Structure 1
Amino acid sequence: MSSSQFNRDNEYYDGETLTLVDDNGRSLPCYIEHSIEVDGITYLLLMPTDIPIVIMSWEREDDENEEVEATMLEDDSEIAEIFGNAKAVLAEQNLYLYHTAYTLTAIGELPPLEEDEILTLNIDDEDSQLEPEELQLLASFYHSERKYCIYTPLTPLLFFARYDLENRLELVSPEQENLLPILQELLFDESE
């Protein structure tokens, strides 16, 4: 995660939303869900203003087992290769895909949620105690004989950020500098 090029004094900050910018100059408009000041530093819980999008590729492990392995696309070059196809299949549903900072996003109205179109992801990490994540299937397509599916998370995508001493916005990890208690307080505020 990297610092945003914008700061609070910039025209992009209006008190309710702000724009994150990644190292590639892509932007991501976010709502400020909650903020808290600790030791003179402002910490923020941010949520994208548009619909977060996840693209997964599916590969058959074994034709006899019918097991498949899903891989979430995160590499910019992989995303660029299939982006045109993904954009086209979402446009058929009046959803418009953008390659924004830190996540893909779409603008439009989501189709009604159907139980058989929910994918539950279990994280295979013995050290992690993460809850399974549920994703809503929006569309699928093939590219170079590989199947790709486009999803949106059912739980909000949140970013944890702070202003540094030079008033620049940066994304931070809760494990970084023992910031977990601050994140928990921001999440507690959100649930009220």
Structure 2
Amino acid sequence: MEGSTIVLTDDAGKTLPCTVETTFKVESTEYLLLQPVDFSVQIFAWQETDDEEETELADVTEEEIDVIFATAQAVLSEQNLTLRRSAYTLTVEGDLPEPTEEDIIEIDTEEDGNCSEFQELAHFYYEEQAFSVFTALDPLMFIAKVGTGGLPEILTPEEMNALEPYVEKYLDHVLSTEDAEEDS
């Protein structure tokens, strides 16, 4: 199954083609580590801070994405990228430009202060509001379980929390095995 492509479908019927990176079992349940075929992207708005000289990124709601989607799609199409409203994430299809230092920004993506590096793909304005489209330099991964009828199901937050220790142990094992192979 590793290397094959499967399609996730959300409650709204949107789809997300993914490559199966690996499979593993915990107790009697089979799990899949999935990476979207296309590049996952996020759109952020630029806001002024209390210090009017600086700006910061702010999350964009689903309703705002509905309004700005066509503009973002048009700006990305100038780079031969196709923006899609896929299941669980926005994606772009096409060849991403090579990242330069000016394109890379660190964004605090979690409550505990963890930062991830993102590449800015496009910057645009909609009704005088500035927006940017970013893709993470580390690919987005999903964990799904094989559900009824053999169809993949994204884990609930509760299931993900319960599975986290197993995933960490599994990934530690895989990484240490890869390191040992490289040293040989």
Q: Which is bigger in relative contact order (C-alpha 8 A, separation at least 6)? A: 1
Residue 149 (structure 1) aligned to one of 128, 132, 151: 132
2:30 matches 1:42: yes
Which letter does structure 1 place at the counterpart of 2:86?
Answer: T
Q: Percent identity?
A: 38
Counterpart check, 1:94 vs 2:83? no
Q: In the aligned structure 2, how far is the partner of 1:32 from the partner of 1:145?
A: 41
1:112 equivalent to 2:98? Answer yes
1:69 to 56, 61, 70: 56
Please, which runs of 5 or more residues in structure 1 have no aligned partner? 1-12
Give the 3 Å change call, closer, same or farther, for CA 186–16 of structure 1 in structure 2: farther
Does the aligned pair in 1 maintain the 2:2–2:21 contact within 8 Å?
no
Give secondary structure in 1 for the equivalent of 2:67.
helix
Q: What are the equivalent positions in structure 2 for 1:145-184 lying under 5 Å apart?
A: 145-164=128-147, 167-172=150-155, 176=159, 178-184=162-168
Task: Give, in angstroms, the shift of residue 41 of structure 1.
Answer: 0.8
Moved over 2 A (4+): 122-125, 164-169, 173-177, 185-192
In the alignment, does 2:20 pair up with 1:32?
yes
**Paired position in structure 2 for 1:137:** 120
Question: What TM-score does the superposition give when structure 2 sets the normalisation length?
Answer: 0.84
Report how many residues are paired.
175
RMSD over aligned CA atoms reads 2.3
Larger helix proportion of the pair: 2
| Cα distance per residue 1:107-140 (max 9 Å; x no partner) | 1111121001111012462xx3x63101001111
Question: Residue deviations 1:19-62, cap 9 Å, x none?
Answer: 01111110000000111122221011100000111110011123
Q: What is the TM-score when the length of structure 1 is the normalising length?
A: 0.81
Q: 1:189 to 1:145 in 2, by over 3 A?
A: farther
Relative to structure 1, the CA distance from residue 103 to residue 57 in structure 2 (aligned partners, 3 Å threshold; closer, same or farther) is same
What SS does structure 2 have at the residue aligned with 1:181? helix
